[in-house]
Structure 1
Amino acid sequence: MSIRNLLDDKKLIDLQRFQLLVDAITDYAIYMLDIDGRVVSWNAGAQKFKGYTSEEIIGQHFSQFYIPEDQKAGVPALALQIAETEGRYEIEGWRVRKDGSYFWASVIIDAIREDGRLLGFAKITRDITDRKKAEEALRLSEQQFRLLVQGVTDYAIYMLDKDGYVSNWNSGAQRIKGYRQEEVIGTHFSRFYTPEDQRSGVPQRALLTARTEGRFEQEGWRVRKDGSQFRAHVVIDPIYNAFSEFVGYAKITRDITEKYEAAVALKKTEQALQHSQKMETIGKLTGGIAHDFNNLLQIISGNLQLLSAEIAGNQHAERRVTNALAGVRRGAKLASYLLSFGRRQALDPKVVNIGRFVIDMEDMLQRSLGETIEVETILADDLWNTFVDVAQVENALLNLAVNARDAMESVGKLTIEISNAVLDENYARTHAEVNPGEYVMLAVSDVGSGMLPEVVAQVFEPFFSTKPEGKGTGLGLSMVYGFVKQSGGHVNIYSELGYGTTVKLYLPRSTEQEGKLTIQPLEKIVGGAETILVAEDDDEVRTTAIEILMGLGYKVLHASDAESALAIVDTGVKIDLLFTDVVMPGTLRSPELARKARERLPNLAVLFTSGYTQNAIVHGGRLDGGVELLSKPYSREALARKVRSVLANCKQHKT
């Protein structure tokens, strides 16, 4: 046998082996086409997923595997043309099985040549329908996820690359932060942080934490495109690909400004409520003490004044009595402050224009503060009227001015500003005991040392003082606070350490016309011959009152309780004035005593006295209409003038 024959036999064996290999493959359709595209071979894989046996398909044109649309478009012919001219054609697309069902195929067609002559085509087809479905499912999932992310407007959802540069941007990010996608992609995410956070390296620490700990979560202030700030809840997670390689960060930001502000407002309200409740408790305590305390002061004051008449001419003794009476006045002022703080002061309000009133006080303020303090008063145009106790406004303004002078160490500028103000619903929600509405604002500002926030939180509490020991009672601001609150107003204080303090008093607006404020001249102390019935449960107070009134020339009857006083009235004896304590024991209350006494004696004048009025003749913090009150402790001069005034008013009213 020749060598040529041996070589031909070897080729034949190799070809047979190759054919066996091709026929054994079931996952791929491997077959040949002639130069016209007719099938000339067919393997088991082709039969498996195309459904044709070799007998059925050999000699048939391969275009029948294509869907009708591709056949009409000439895709089979184009595939062979490309394979012939370029040597290879590769594509994915829909193909048709024998039963008419479709499958997604990966197709390769190679041109077969011998000595440059085209013999036909080798065609390999793989059914990748499952992979196609998985890819389509993934594509749909990704598309839906993108739509979901883009549809979310309450959250800014976007990605950062490994260095923190923005790589995508959703509609929520645009709504919250204000940047369009083309404005922000490719820029560093640190632009969303406040300048302070940028300088302190917060953005870099956020990425480092996310990378090393697997997550970064924080609340903080962020900056919008327009420069405004919002409170944000931020989450940053690292992103890894399928090969566990770090590729960047996922960042979710939510605008929680409203929630944050509501929480802050709630906390402030709770703190204000706690403060208000504490003030109310202390107020009740001070009110309960004040009655007995003022009665004691009245006993001391009355007896000292009686004593002063007996020691006339003894200068040494007179000086001692004068000093003692000065102590009584200081005690009375202290009690008055406590009552004001506790909102138990009997206010006598009038409709007044605060602006004109303060202008009239300027000279007195300047004298009180000294020449080294510059006082400037700023009045807004068209100031509203307010309904307040003018004497209490004067006390409050003096207290604030003196505090300001001390904070400036007697050198500096004091500014008094008065303007109209409207406190709205939002303000009222964040401040306890504030009714929304129209107010007249009286502000006192200094350029003094200022206070820390923790000090500001305590300044209205009684006996709290920033002054050195012995330099202040700690009751000035508490008196101001109580007076304004009792008047239905509001107090706000702002202070910054090293820059000064501003205290703002908001007094409710009155739409009524201002009455004329008249200052009563100090009349000569005179007595009279009228008959006065003194009703007082405290024996020592009653004794001193009787002696003072008798010393002024009056005829005096007396009783230790309201029932006994009414019994005296029922005797028919002539009585010109009933001088009664407001708070006395027994079932008959003093206002009821006054009413019944006037029923029996229509021309009777009534003068109340008390160290603490409770709610007997004071309602809503104000004296009842037509009520005359002389607060304890009172002086001989004050009692004498008040008695004459009440008797005169009663006669004038009757005529």
Structure 2
Amino acid sequence: MGARMRAHDWSASPLGAPETWPQALSSVVSLMLGSRFPMFAAWGPELGFLYNDAYAEILGDKHPAALGRRFRDIWHEIWDAITPYVTSAMAGEATWAENLPLTMNRRGYDERTYFTFSYSPIRDEAAIVRGMFCACTETTAKVKAEEALRASEARASGVLEGMGEGFMLLDHDFRILQMNAEGFRLEERLPDQVVGRSHWEVYPGSEFMPIGQMYLRAMQERIPLTLEHRYVWPDGHAAWLEVRAYPHPEGLALFYRDVTERREREDELREAEARFQAIANSIDQMVWSTRADGYHDYYNQRWYDFTGVTPGSTDGEEWEDIVHPEDRERTWKVWGESLATGEPYRIEYRLRHHSGQYRWTLGRALPMRDGAGLITRWFGTCTDIQDIVEAREVLARSREELEALVAERTADRDRMWRLSTDIMLVARYDATIEAVNPAWTSLLGWGERDLVGGAFMDLVHPDDVAATLAEVGKLSEGLTTLRFVNRYRHKDGSYRWLSWTAVPAENLIHAVGRDITAEKEAAQALADTEEALRQSQKMEAVGQLTGGIAHDFNNLLTGITGSLELMQTRMSQGRLTDLDRYMAAAQGASKRAAALTHRLLAFSRRQTLDPKPTDVNALIHGMEELIRRTVGPSVHIEVVGSAGLWSALVDSSQLENALLNLCINARDAMPDGGRITVETANRWLDDRIARERDMSVGQYLSLCVTDTGTGMTPDVIAKAFEPFFTTKPIGQGTGLGLSMIYGFVRQSGGQVRIYSEVGQGTTVCLYLPRHHGDAPGSERMPDLAGAPRAERGETVLVIDDEPSIRMLVTEVLEDLGYTAIEAADGPSGLRVLQSDARIDLLVTDVGLPGGMNGRQVADAARVTRPDLKVLFITGYAENAAVGNGYLDCGMQVLTKPFAMEALASRIRDLIEARPVRSGREPERDQ
């Protein structure tokens, strides 16, 4: 452009020769020519036009004639649009415009263009504005591209909103950025409940976990994805959705639609297909179908059973090979005529049977037509008529031969009718008797004259009428009766048991009845004998149990009463030195009596448990030495405690007793010595394993005892948990051990399973539900002398029908400084509770006389004393009475017999506990 300026004739330009230009203009021109950006300058009153090479491209055909001309003459078509900017620049104010639309004519036609530019004033040495300078950029392509993009997005948005399927756009963090109208319609939720929120927050549920993994894979690997899944919305309605996922710059685009109707139609189609298959395979005929052109593409199972060919081997025209060679030409001709005319197909021909012989069959087919009458398929059957063909041959014999044959067969039938010891009956469906054979007289005493014309229902036992009418109904529907049993009245008034076989005819029932009265009576006698034997065995087992219990209790009572008598004698004699020994003997006997009671309750599976969080590994460790001493030196004990074992909520005393019993059983199974392994582990049972073990799905810890002994047969395993069942000799086992263990574990919410192999050993596993929380350390029984004492005025109400217990509890309370109030039954105790007396704690037996048990008294008292603390004391398994294993807050239970130290500690703990809150808490919080 510099060379062009130097060669240009400036004589006609309002700018004059370049050497006359002022310094300000020359500086601007120098700057402009050295730049690669489009620039121009306009100078003087007439705004003479100067520009650089980059701007020449914008001028188009106006270049190079535009050099030195008036600015207005060059861009006269846009002058009105740019005049405000020019005026402002010449007034000394810089101006700026972005993407200004201008209609230019620079190539012989008008075109819409866009420019971003700035106009700056140019001042001379006197600081007077003499011209202006412009730096500009043509943005036509950019603006049109943006307009096209917006138009495309608008079209896309319109398409999305007009789609008949839902659309959802997810970002890379699975937030919902966009959803179309159909998506909101399917959701039935407002936009602010969906858009902007996480996909997993809008669609919670475990069923979306695998779907989310597939979405993530499609997003990461940039691959499309198509799937169908059933979704249940939060309001409960469900639908099958077909989802197509496509990678998108934002993340993932999902297109989905409700395909519930299609799925239902597909299910209906599959169900219809299954029904068709079931029907086709249930009938005696061979069923087949072809396309409209006669191509065979379906046979039912009866076809393959009859012919013995492999599936698919007779498709198309291959079925011709199993047609008898003499019948093939005729068969093809008839079939071809039906295909050509659409007339029904019917032919008799011989097919090769799977035995290798040919049998006559009847082939029939009908065409299926569409709404226009065009044939779409053929459905046909083949029926084995070999017997019919042979019968025709028989009928074709001479009349004499046929009559002789008929007479012979009739005679055979008549002989069977007369001589049969089973009763035979021909009757109508309304029960009217048409014919009976002579056996009715010998079996039931009724003659033919007594029965024909009457109703056989008149002879049916009243208790069997409904079942008999139902069976007649089945016969009327064409169903055959096999071994239907009912009772018919003998002429002497007694009843006989009959087993019937009957077949339906067009209007008649043909039936044969066999007398099974003797069989019925023998079966009943056998059942009565077996029941008597079972009762005898039960009574013998109960006798053995009660005899042993009576023996143990008598020994224990002798120890208690004898010790008390000696204590009384020594005290009357003033000899106090041996009292401690007698007291220890009495206490020891009473503790053994309590243990015996607990074992009996465990046997009955109704003991009152005291479940607490228990560290089973620590429990085993504490018992290990006792177990070793119990099983003896010939048995090696190995303990395998799982690291990180969960705690269990169980009665630790019962669990110790169960473990010791299992180890003793294991020892008895190894008379020559062996190994016992005690093992613990954490178990997570899924649906399949839980079903196999008859347990609920969840987390458990297992305690397993394994021996290397004689093992158990499946029959023994099946009976092992039954009360009184034992394989030990008489006098060496009561059959209660495993039964008590089973009762304790089941009552604790767990399960017991036995795994054994004869000669290899046995494993017994206790599965106990996991307790979420840590097991506390062992608690030391407090000393009564050091038990915390009552605060001033604290009062305890004691309700128990046993005077000795009331006396003992009251004395303990008074020794500790409490005021004690006694009541002998529920109503009298409730009257105290409904008075104004101060009561800080209620101590009550569960089983009480007077029409109210302890739980009822406590519930009634809490109507007026909602914060009342309650301690239940019971010697029975009264879980139901105290709330089916659940106690209200502020309630605890203490099982008799109990130590006085435990009673004192429990009383203080309850009184000092936080105030009673509403609701219920498990009994394990005692």
TM-score if structure 1 supplies the norm length? 0.48
Q: Greater Rg, structure 1 or structure 2?
A: 2
TM-score if structure 2 supplies the norm length? 0.35
Instruction: Pick 1 or 2: higher relative contact order, CA cutoff 8 A, min separation 6.
Output: 1
